[in-house]
Amino acid sequence: MARYTGPVCRLCRREGMKLYLKGDRCYSDKCSVTVRSYAPGQHGQSRKKVSEYGIQLREKQKVRRIYGILEKQFRIYFEKADRQKGVTGENLLRLLERRLDNVAYRLGFASSRVDARQLVRHGHFTVNGRKVNIPSFLVKAGDMIAVKEKSKSSPKLQGYAQNLGSHNAPAWLDLDKPNLVGKVIALPSREDVDLEINEQLIVELYSR
C-alpha cells in the first residue's frame, strides 16, 4: 500500500500549523512548527502571494494530511459525501472522523493518528468483539471498540492506558477507561470536529 514515508514534521511546517502527527513531540518545545515557523525548502521564508486556488488546495492538503489519506482515497470520500444528504463538507468530515484509526486516536488508545493506524493494522483492536485490522473501517452508532485482551499486556498500550486518566473523549464517544473499551454513542457532528478546518474551501476546489 502506498503511503508517505518522509519526515512528517515537514508536513506541519508546509501547512503552517500543528497537525499532531508525532504525538507527544507536538506538545513539546521540540515541535518543528515552534522551532521553525515557516515552510520547508529553500524558499520557505519568502513571502508569496497565494491565489484562490492555492488557498483551496492548501486546505484540502491539510485535511488529507491530518487524517493520513492519499489523494485517490480522499477523492473517494468526497464523492461519497457529495452523494449523501446534507452539507457535503460536513458529511466529508463526519466520514473521516468515523475511520477506525481516528476513533482509536480520539479514545486515547494512541498518541497520534499515525500511531493508531499502525496499531490497527497490527490487529490490536476489535469492533463488536471481532478483530478489525483495516484503518479505514467506518464505525457506526452502537459499535464497541476495544483493545484486544492479549494486546493489553503490550508495553506501548499499557503506556497509553496510564495516560487515559486525564484524557477526555469527544461527546460522540463513550470511554470505559479501566477496561479500554469505547462505544460510539452517536455519529459525530460538525461541532465534534475540533480542528481548524474550512471544509467549504475543499468543496469549492472539487467543484471547479
- Give percent above pLDDT 70 in the chain: 77
Give the pTM: 0.81
Q: pLDDT, tens digit, for every residue of 2-28?
A: 565 555 655 655 556 556 565 555 555
Q: pLDDT, tens digit, for every residue of 132-176?
A: 999 999 999 999 999 999 999 999 899 888 888 778 899 999 999
| C-alpha span between 38 and 98 (Å, rounded) | 32
Mean pLDDT along residues 25-36? 55
pLDDT at 44 over 70: no
CB-based burial, 74-103: b 16+ in 10 Å, e otherwise: beebbeebeeeeeebbbbbbbbbbbbbbbb
| 194 burial via Cβ count (<10 Å: 0-12, 13-18, 19+) | exposed
Helical axes 71-83 vs 199-206, angle rounded to 10°? 90
Helices marked H in the chain = 8-15, 32-35, 52-66, 71-83, 88-97, 100-106, 113-121, 155-162, 199-206
Q: pLDDT, tens digit, for every residue of 187-201?
A: 999 999 988 889 999
> In the predicted model, what is the mean pLDDT of the chain?
85
Q: pLDDT, tens digit, for every residue of 118-141?
A: 999 999 999 999 999 999 999 999
pLDDT band at 45, cuts 50/70/90?
A: low
| C-alpha span between 152 and 192 (Å, rounded) | 28
Using alpha carbons only, give the angle 61, 108, 77 rounded to the nearest 5 degrees: 35
Residue 24: predicted pLDDT: 56
